[in-house]
Amino acid sequence: MVIPTTYGAALALALLSMLCWGSWANTFKLTGGKWRFELFYFDYAFGVLLTAIIAAFTFGQYGTELTFQDNLAIASKRAMAYAFTAGVVFNLANMLLVGAIAIAGMAVAFPIGIGLALVIGVIWNYTINPQGNPTLLGVGVLLVVAAIIVDAMAFSAHRRSVAANQGKKSRSHTKGIVISLLSGVLMGSFYPLVEMSRVGEVGLGAYSVAVCFGAGVLLSTWIFNIYFMNLPLHGKPVDFGEYWKGTRKEHLLGLIGGALWSIGAITNFVAASAPKTVQVGPAVSYALGQGATLVSALWGLFYWKEFAGADAKVRTLLGLMLVLFVCGLAAVSLAPLYVR
């Protein structure tokens, strides 16, 4: 298997993961808002698994470590079960996240949901495999928590301001925030399961994890989507027959979205699998990957203009949120370099 041999390479992979995880949701936004997220998700899930399989039979077949097929042959069923379960847990979290995006937008759903996931994941991963300076990790987590709170405040203030300007009563804006928080709790739980699947001599390698994980995503999509299509988070119930009415562009965007997320996951798993002498560590690798919150917030703010027309108070809160996220991620990134 191809894995990084320097800290710089491992860090670069973690940063690539951050860009992919922070950008894939643009594919859903590009569908124009008429293509339901439940339908989008069928193509997305297939894209996740397909990309993992392609990576496993290319990058997973070369390098100094065991090949993907050799690793899968000797890995324990328990390790595979952990990776598969991680995919299932992530999938439910991600479906809630996409639902929250449909309700509140990327600039809200990602910072709140993935920000909370970062906090939970870093603490849990550090408990399982303590690597990095705990003080810097702690400071980074606290800064991210502060950013989540500020982002929620900005969202609430903007909704009230828009309603007031339109002379309407402010509608409840808590649904998008609550769904984002629930997504974050689940999202923060999947990566420790990934780490548990890699433990020991019969643990899975990065590419094997990605394939088992992708299988969990695809298979659980059919189960979770039965619920979401009949009891949707947003809008009216949708029939599966609507899937076949989608355009080529809508189906292709779903596949690309899944491929982008999967590339982010694979590079993240590979970065965390580097030799210990150059490894960024699972807690740090996960935290940097969850820096997608910042990337997605920038997409939502500057490309999709989800806070267009915001007043000075809201703009100040958004600026503070970005600063807090940058400082929090910087603290987490530096944690491996200043180990006590």
d(CA 80, CA 292): 27
d(CA 4, CA 291): 20
| DSSP 3-state of 294 | helix
* DSSP state letters, 155-197: HHHHHHHHHHHTT-PPPP-HHHHHHHHHHHHHHHHHHHHHHHH
- Provide the pLDDT for residue 108: 77
d(CA 200, CA 63): 20
pTM of the model as a whole = 0.83
> What is the SS3 assignment for 15-41?
HHHHHHHHHCCHHHHCCCCCCCHHHHH
Query: Of 265, 210, 207, nearest to 2 (Cα)?
Result: 207
- Provide the pLDDT for residue 169: 58
| DSSP 3-state of 63 | coil
Per-residue pLDDT tens for 186-218? 988 888 899 899 988 889 999 999 999 999 999
* Contact call for residues 194 and 209 (beta carbons, < 8 A): yes
Neighbour count for residue 140 (Cβ, 10 Å):
27
- Provide the pLDDT for residue 115: 78
Pick the residue with more confidence: 49 or 332? 49
- Provide the pLDDT for residue 274: 77
Amino acid identity, position 222 = W
Phi, psi of 184 (to 5 degrees): -65, -40
Give the C-alpha distances (Å, rounded to integers) separating 169 from 28, 172, 254.
Answer: 30, 9, 36
| DSSP 3-state of 300 | helix
Per-residue pLDDT tens for 295-324? 878 888 888 888 888 889 999 999 998 899
Pick the residue with more confidence: 297 or 16? 16
- The alpha helices in the chain, defined as continuous H runs, are 7-23, 26-29, 37-56, 68-74, 77-104, 106-109, 115-128, 134-165, 174-197, 206-230, 248-272, 282-289, 292-298, 312-334
* Contact call for residues 79 and 204 (beta carbons, < 8 A): yes
